[in-house]
Amino acid sequence: MKIKIVKTTDHDYKSFLTRLLQRRGNRQGAVEKRVSEIVRAVERKGDSALLRYAQMFDRVRLTRATMEVKPGEIEKAMTSVPAKDLRILRMAARRIGAFHRRQVQKSWGYRDPLGMLLGQRITPLGRVGVYVPGGKASYPSTVLMNVVPAKVAGVEEVIMTSPIGSDGAIILAAARIAGVDRTFRIGGAQAIAALAFGTETIPKVDKIVGPGNIFVATAKRLVFGEVDIDSIAGPSEILLLADESADPKHVAADMLSQAEHDERAAALCVTSSMAVAARIQKAIEHQLQQTKRRAITIKALEKYGAIIVTRGYREAIDLANTIAPEHVELIVKQPQKWSRAIRNAGAIFIGPYSTPPLGDYFAGPNHVLPTGGSARFFSPLGTYDFLKRTTIIQAQEKALRALAPKITHLARLEGLDDHARAVEARFE
């Protein structure tokens, strides 16, 4: 197949852009109805619902005794994983830890002119649930990226759920290296419900993080408020800005690296040169013959892939900021200049050697990034996501007396007389 080339001056450009932007907002009523039933069943029936759904959806017969992975199983997994794999996982964990330690926030306070002590106390969450997808593939990098920042933040207990099968040794090894405290063989929307409400076996958590399919994402949205969540993750996406200095092979390879994730992944290249677009189109066509996930990649490229030709630098930047993609990559002559103009992106990859898989696995920054345009207001997962802030206020009589007339005036403006009386009572 040939990926389409779309000019911003084409009559069908706006319809393509609309379809791309609407991709983020698809809510399927049937899915939400089914997930809501699962969540309510787990809330009401606990473990019995989990065991029933494990057999129904994952074709796994579990008991309460086998739901949790035992320490001996983890040790066995560690010995079964090749030593080279363990070394690489440990090195990745160290790099992720080094980056996220720089994000740790500290408590602070000060005294104002009235002598009041004001401040903010930073404390880690007590218990966090991490969901790790299973089934078609194993994602040890997901374990590291979600668990290491929580541990760096000081979270007391990290609970991991995943539909771990017989080939889950690498996931268990990554969990051990990252510092997971307890692991359960539960997947899907039912796992999210179990973490949110707690069951006889799985403890209730304060926050749930981790990616998943549409059922997992819908369940996270439905339990938000009962617990905190990281975000509602959508399909992967990349927007690559290229000029005549870009090697078409590099551009094609990076676009395909994201398109292979999912049939709904969006792989875009933006350039102001038709000649560059044609060379990249040819490179993608050639590399597609060698990709192992060709069927998935082709579907993604047909529906949400494109090389977009703009009328210049400013239009390209405006387009990138409008789409607000998960990954923005800059393979241009002056990448630092371009990067300063990008306001909305989950992560920015600057220059030809900053390929997105570097960030996916080994650079150190988190690969859990905002998708579907949410980079306009969301940030990558980080240590700060596992910390909560508590306000501190300590006033002496002098301070309250000085502010009392203003406080009581504002309280009565709002019709809250007892608020005013609570202040006045101190000075009667």
Q: Which residues are the active-site residues? A: 326-327
| Cα dihedral across residues 403, 409, 410, 412: positive or negative | positive
* Phi/psi-derived region of residue 243, left when phi > 0, alpha when psi is between -120 and 50, beta in every other case: beta
Helices (H), ranges, 13-116: 13-22, 29-45, 47-58, 64-67, 71-80, 83-101
Task: Give dist(CA 325, CA 299) in Å, integer.
Answer: 19
**What is the dihedral angle through the alpha carbons of 33, 38, 43, 49, rounded to the nearest 10 degrees?**
160
Structure tokens at 152: 């760096």
Structure tokens at 369: 């990034």
CB 420 within 8 A of CB 408: yes
| Cα dihedral across residues 331, 337, 341, 346: positive or negative | positive
* Amino acid identity for residue 365 in this structure: P
CB 273 within 8 A of CB 243: yes
Task: Give dist(CA 327, CA 159) in Å, integer.
Answer: 29
User: What contacts 17, CB < 8 A, 6 or more positions away?
Assistant: none
Task: Give dist(CA 20, CA 16) in Å, integer.
Answer: 6
Q: Could you tell me how many residues make up the chain?
A: 428
Structure tokens at 44: 């009401």
**What is the dihedral angle through the alpha carbons of 413, 419, 420, 425, rounded to the nearest 10 degrees?**
180
Helices (H), ranges, 81-161: 83-101, 140-153
Residue of 163, 210, 201 lying closest to 182 (CA atoms): 201
User: What contacts 145, CB < 8 A, 6 or more positions away?
Assistant: 96, 366, 367, 368, 381
User: What contacts 102, CB < 8 A, 6 or more positions away?
Assistant: none
